Amino acid sequence: MDFTASSASLLNIKADSLILATGSQLQNSAAELDKSLDGAISSLVKAGDFSGKAGQSLVIHIPGASGKRIILVGTDGATTAQQQIKVIEAGASALLKTASTKAVWAGEGLSDDAEWEASIVARSVQTASYKYDSGKKAKPQKLKSVTYWASSKAGANAAKKGLAYGVSVGNGMNTARQLGNLPANICTPTYLANQAKALAKGQGKVTTTVLTEAEMKKLKMGSLLSVSAGSDQPAKLIVIKYQGTKASVAPVVLVGKAVTFDTGGISLKPGGGMDEMKYDMCGGASVMGVMNALIENQLPVNVVGIIPATENMPNGQATKPGDVVTSMSGQTIEILNTDAEGRLILCDALTYAGRFKPDTVIDIATLTGAVIGALGKVTAGLLSNDDELAEALLASGTKSGDRAWRMPLWEEYDELLKSNFADMANIGGPQAGTITAACFLARFTLKYKWAHLDVAGTAWVSGAQKGATGRPVPILMEYIRSKAS
């Protein structure tokens, strides 16, 4: 799909759909367009067919112009970035439901920031057009191009930059969604490793290295390997390096949990809804999505993606509750619950991350059901050992619309991880599960600035619309863009 920007006369741009964001009080281009249509839009407002409420959409077919339409999207009450993003997403959804092939998005009446608005438009159209790739031949996408119209040349130039960024983020989200949606008998640790290698093929700025179980054993990653012990699928530690600037610049390191299927191991999960445990690799999928976006956008940053990938299965070799393992850091762990496995693979990956002398480290994981109890399916949980990093991520979440909420990381919670038989237990009891999980990880991040995103509530949706969301690719990309040199 092609995205362009223009400041030419709005009515002279060739297209079969015009998306017009407007409130109930028509102004500027909306008022001019209404006048040229003999009051067609204002009459719909007066009749109550279009109230202008934020997110409402209405398709108007232009009289005497076969196949041409105006898509009205309400903006009344959309004063925050989050509300404006919802308006844009509603417009993108309405557009994709039509038979449009060429569309114009009138960048007026919503935000004064053309670059930001254009980026969200491109991202929203890309994600709204996503279809799960089952391997079968699918119908081609009807929509071929979107032109973002700005009222000035300066606005159009800013929009061009925003469109390029938004397309890359949208494609990154779709990459993460596709990997998350694949069934676990296809998307194994080996499959993920092969996809990471393919991502780097022909890319001068990207290299991928995959560590085998034998190599992890030499590194003494006893915690990670304790999770893969019950599976016939070998674990992989995937390392993707994106070098967009000089090597002396310390990288941002992303560590993404990728349990390609989680039965809970010996601490077996209930059967109901277990099919959704193919989504337990969405943290790793988001890292792949970010790397895809970086390749497309060519940001001048250095980023390292580390993806510990494994299944969590019960067999005769599986780790048992009460077993004690030694992590790469040398710290010992009493495994009281084998279904708290994500932290066991992350802790060795976080120790490994230290060798890259990182500027910051962010881990992303569908880690705890407790975060859904605390925050629902709206926002990710954020915990960090550095206030500046936490604030930067919160700001990136607000700007991108992919929000996070900070939770405490206090000593009182860390004390709940005490064990009589090891340096720590892998669970802290029934209370504050999201926080004690982060406290566990924090023990392995003492040498660098670190943040943890628990995306168990936001990485996928259930029910009739079941599928991966591509979050938190937007917040991660916004943070990485802020680090660009």
At 462-478, the pLDDT tens digits run 999 999 999 999 999 99
The count of residues in the chain is 485
Write the CB contacts of 174 (distance below 8 Å, at least 6 apart in sequence): 126, 127, 130, 289, 470
Phi, psi of 438 (to 5 degrees): -70, -35
Positions of E strands within 8-100: 17-22, 57-61, 69-74
Rounded to whole angstroms, the Cα distance separating 243 from 302 reads: 5
pLDDT attached to residue 65: 59
Quote the Cα angle for 76-79-84, to 5°: 80
Quick check: 381 and 363 in contact, CB under 8 A? no
Cα 274 from Cα 178, distance rounded (Å): 19
Which residues lie closer than 8 Å to 460 by C-beta, 6 or more apart? Answer: 180, 276, 279, 282, 466, 467, 468, 469
Structural domains present in the chain: 2-167 (3.40.220.10), 182-482 (3.40.630.10)
Q: Which residue of the set 69, 160, 343, 403 is catalytic?
A: 343
Active site residue 269: yes
Is 343 considered catalytic here? Answer: yes
How far apart are the C-alpha atoms of 265 and 243, rounded to whole Å? 38
Strand pairing class (360-365; 258-262): unpaired
pLDDT at 37: 85
Q: For residue 206, what are its two tokens?
A: 């990207």
Residue/partner pairs of 193-198 with CB below 8 Å, 24 or more apart: 193/236, 193/238, 193/309, 195/288, 196/238, 196/240, 196/288, 196/291, 196/307
Across 7-118, the runs of DSSP E, i.e. the strands, are 17-22, 57-61, 69-74, 102-106
How far CA 80 is from CA of 30, 102, 111, 157, 464, in Å, comes to 21, 29, 10, 24, 29
Q: Give residues with Cβ within 8 angstroms of 315, minimum separation 6.
A: 230, 231, 232
- Which tokens belong to 78? 């959309």
pLDDT for 137 = 80
Phi, psi (rounded to 5 degrees) for 385: -95, 10
| Residue corresponding to tokens 């619950």 | 337
Question: Using H for helix, E for strand and C for coil, what is the string for 345-382?
Answer: HHHHHHHHHHHHCCCEEEEEECCCCHHHHHHCCCCEEE
Cβ-based burial of 405 (10 A; exposed 0-12, middle 13-18, buried ≥19) = middle
Q: What is the DSSP letter of 314?
A: -
CA distance 381 to 364: 10
Instruction: Name the phi and psi angles at 455, rounded to 5.
Output: -110, 25
Q: How many CB atoms lie within 10 A of CB 245?
A: 16
Give the span between the Cα atoms of 356 and 414, in whole angstroms. Answer: 27
The torsion angles phi and psi of 380, rounded to 5 degrees, stand at: -80, 155
Distance from first CA to last CA of the chain, Å, rounded?
29
Cβ atoms within 10 A of the Cβ of 136, count? 5
Predicted local distance difference test score (pLDDT) of residue 15: 94
Q: Which residues of the chain have pLDDT under 70?
A: 63-67, 485
* Confidence at residue 28, expressed as pLDDT on a 0 to 100 scale: 86
Could you tell me if 254 and 242 are in contact, meaning their C-beta atoms sit under 8 angstroms apart? no
437 contacts 368 by C-beta, under 8 angstroms: yes
Our CA angle for 438, 441, 447, nearest 5°, is 125
Choose, from 53, 269, 443, 449, the residue flagged as catalytic: 269
What's the confidence (pLDDT) of residue 66? 56
